[in-house]
A = this chain, B = another copy of it.
Amino acid sequence: MAKDNDNSNVYIGKKRSMNYVMSAMGTLNEGKPAKLLARGRAISRAVDVGELLINKFAKGASYGTIEIKTESLTNKDGSQSNVSAIEIEIKPGD
């Protein structure tokens, strides 16, 4: 099973939403589900990307599981921070 090199995972960061839309389209066009992953403030952008895909770019695609969780990050000084995260699965159309 592919893990870190699983190209169906799209990590949402600070770039413009369209970058991530295009990245997910590559996976969906192969008929495979794509997963949008985001933490903290990027969560809003992940939701934008999901809506752009489903309403505009990936015809017939639909939401799969939407998961919300907390991830623990280690800061540079060794302390721990908790940050909210979201995983949005996008299932390709027929």
Binding site for B on A (CB under 8 A): 40-44, 47-48, 50-51, 55, 63, 66, 68-70, 84-86, 88
Contact = CB atoms under 8 A, between A and B. Distances in A.
* This chain: copies in complex: 2
Nearest to A65: B66
Nearest to A48: B84
A15 to B, nearest CB: 16
Contacts of A86: 47
Contact of A84 (B41, B51, B68): B51
B84 A44 contact: yes
8 contacts: A41-B41, A41-B44, A42-B44, A44-B84, A47-B68, A50-B84, A51-B84, A63-B68
